[in-house]
Every structure is written in structure tokens, then in C-alpha cells.
Amino acid sequence: MEFTISTNKQEELIDITNQVEKLVEDKEGNAVLVYVVHATAGIIVNENYDEAVCDDIIDYLKKSIPAGVWKHGAIDNNADSHIKASIIGPGQVIPLENGKLMLGRWQGIALAEFDGPKQRKIIVKII
């Protein structure tokens, strides 16, 4: 199973919880793997109620990993995007119970875009 997200900004977190929920609804399995197949994006599980949390995560990563100071930057000028994506990671495993994501009350699944805007393909596998 898979779906595509169009990102709108250079860096942003986009809530994809609903898309994943629809794909796993009533499916049998113990967990779901949510994986983005790109080297400058990641998948994160964190609070999805207050957008300020997403802004804080992006701001922290921008300050900690600035653009334009890395060796790869001389080629594509996106080395910071690769580093951020490596730290966040390309995927998350979320437990399933009776076809429902076992997320905490305030948790959601987000696509972390670090080199947008782009089209991003997300793979969803029941395990």
C-alpha cells in the first residue's frame, strides 16, 4: 500500500495520520511500517494537536543543522536536508490492534519534509 503527498514548503511537517488509518482500517496484523522512500524526508511520530510542536521541531533542526556549510552543499545545496532526514529516519513502526493504530492521545504520524516542495511517496506495510 502506498500514497503520495505533495509538500508545499522547503521544510515542514505534514500530518499523514488519517491517510495511514484509512489504509490499515480493519486489517490484520501486529504493527504497521510507515516509510518514506526519499533521502531528504522522514517520518516522525509526535504530537499532532498543537501545530507549534511541529514548528518547534523544524526550527530546532534549522538552527542545529544550518544550510550551506556542508561538503555536499557545493553540489546540490541540500546537505542539511540529508542530515536532518538521517536524524529523523525514513520510517516508523506503530502497533496495531484490531485494525487500529495504537497511538497515544496526542500522537500523530507526520511526513517530515526537508527539501521541498516535492512529491513524496509513502509506503505502508502491515507486519
Q: Give domain limits for the chain.
A: 2-126
What's the grid cell of residue 12?
Answer: 515542514
Model pLDDT, residue 111: 98
Model pLDDT, residue 74: 63
- CA separation, residue 33 to residues 87, 109, 126 (Å): 18, 11, 6
SS3 85: helix
Confidence (pTM): 0.93
Model pLDDT, residue 50: 85
Model pLDDT, residue 73: 64
Judge contact between 84 and 61, C-beta under 8 A: yes
Helices marked H in the chain? 17-24, 51-64, 79-88
What's the grid cell of residue 108?
Answer: 500523530
Looking at the domain covering 2-126, what would its CATH class be? mainly beta
pLDDT tens profile 63-85: 999 988 888 766 678 999 999 99
Q: State the 10-residue block means of pLDDT for the chain, 127 residues long.
A: 97 97 94 97 92 93 90 79 97 95 95 97 97
